[in-house]
Amino acid sequence: MHKNNAELRSFRKKLLTWFGQFQRDLPWRRTKDPYRIWVSEIMLQQTRVAAVIPYYERFLERFPDIRALAEAPEEEVLRLWAGLGYYSRAKNLQKAARQMVALHGGEFPSDRDAVHALEGIGSYTGAAILSIAFGQQRAVLDGNVARVLARLCAIHGDLREGRRWQSLQEKTDELLDTQAPGDWNQAMMELGATLCTPKAPKCLLCPVGNSCEARRRGDAEAYPEKREKRQAVDVLLAAAVLCDSRGRTLLLPPPKRDEGRPAADHVPTLVSGMWHFPTVAVRKNAARELDSYLGSALRVSISEANVEPLRKVKHSVTYRSVRVAAFRVRVAKLPKVAGARTLFLEELSSLPVSNLTRKIARAAESADAANSGDEAAARLLVANN
Ligand code: SF4
């Protein structure tokens, strides 16, 4: 890459000038408020910028500061998060806000150890907040920055491997512009997000292309080398959209992790600690196993007369490939279950629910539309499932 201090200075200057000229106008770039920067950084983990913006704006309108977030009911925080996925992020956000109220007078701390002691804040997020909001000399290293470095220096191998990641951290620390650490970090991330993209990097437009070893070799896309993929695990679930004579359904409250539900061992993770339809992990005969679960957990039984299979629902959560056999189960009265909610499907968004639950609800709604006129024809034999 660069060999001496003059080259390093020139490299920094080129990247910062480019960032000053071409950076995207994003709502979290218009503030130095650590709370707002923190919320954006957490939302941006695993989620695209365009998807985050409306959530970010709604979230901050409702929770304009740390205290407002700390004092809100968790259910409301999750409801505003619903659709972004990875709900533990929202829960940790609120836990950290409560820590800040308890320990730091409701202010975001600027001390590195205090920041790292907050729930859900790791070295990347800590460095991003401390550099952007407080101007501290902390260099960020995330997947985007690692990819840029791997290309600039033509680094082979799995970047997440312990020692290699450590040497990438040393490399990014060395590159950091100590006069403008916040801008520098954002410039590196912006380069990775807009030009040095995983596929088809736009090397001809790159402000630091002359210092790039991968570009010199003409094979930028070969870096970083592919990691071995974790093998996908298939998960089969069965879910019941109960439906009473008024068309109302039943949602169960977020499962507690220590609740110990052996028959539904995948379910707490897959419904992400959110409100959900009665759901169980199954092996072969989804209808029969669902019947057995509903009988023991809710005292509801299903038969040819009251069950209607809905279209299959597919969902991916990290390495899990989930298929859900969903059924509408008609009952005269919804069962009484401690903590459960009775509501119409259209009211689903009043509760925090996962994308998986939304997909099941959509399957029920589309069956309603298809069936209006000939409901009986849609019923299938339970034994055939
Ligand atoms: Fe990335 Fe291409 Fe720029 Fe190298 S020249 S840093 S590969 S965009």
Task: Give the model's confidence band at 3: pLDDT under 50 very low, under 70 low, under 90 confident, else very high.
Answer: low
Q: What is the pLDDT of residues 175-204, one digit of tens each?
A: 999 999 999 999 999 999 999 999 999 999
The domain segmentation of the chain, as residue ranges, is 5-222, 234-384
35-78 confidence digits (pLDDT tens)? 999 999 999 998 999 999 999 999 999 999 999 999 999 999 99
Q: Work out the average pLDDT over 326-348.
A: 93
Output the average pLDDT for the chain: 90
pLDDT one-digit tens code per residue, 207-256? 999 999 999 999 999 999 987 777 888 889 999 999 999 999 999 998 76
Band of pLDDT at residue 268, cut at 50, 70 and 90: low
Q: What whole-number distance in Å separates Cα of residue 256 and Cα of residue 273?
A: 7
Which superfamily, per CATH, for 234-384? Nucleoside Triphosphate Pyrophosphohydrolase (3.90.79.10)
Question: Which of 11, 145, 148 gets mutated to test ligand 1 (max ligand atoms within 8 A of its CB)?
Answer: 148
- Report the nearest-CA residue for atom 7 of ligand 1: 220
User: Is the CB of 152 inside a 6 Å radius of any atom of ligand 1?
Assistant: yes
**Mean pLDDT (whole number) for 315-329:** 88
Active site residue ranges = 41
The strand pairing partners of 341, in sequence order, are 251
By the 8 A CB rule, do 317 and 359 touch?
no
223 CA → ligand 1 middle, Å: 10
Residue 149 CB less than 6 A away from ligand 1: no
Cβ(367) – ligand 1 distance below 6 Å: no
CATH number of 5-222: 1.10.340.30
The pLDDT of residue 366: 86
Which residue owns the Cα nearest ligand 1 atom 4?
212
CA distances from 211 to 3, 148, 203, 264, 336 (A): 10, 12, 11, 54, 67
Query: Which tens digit of pLDDT belongs to each residue from 156-182?
Result: 999 998 899 999 999 999 999 999 999
What is the band of 100 on the pLDDT scale with cuts at 50, 70, 90? very high
| Tokens 């480019």 belong to residue | 18
| Nearest in space to 220 (alpha carbons), one of 311, 318, 154, 129 | 154
Could you tell me the distance, in angstroms and rounded to a whole number, from the CA of residue 321 to the centre of ligand 1?
A: 34
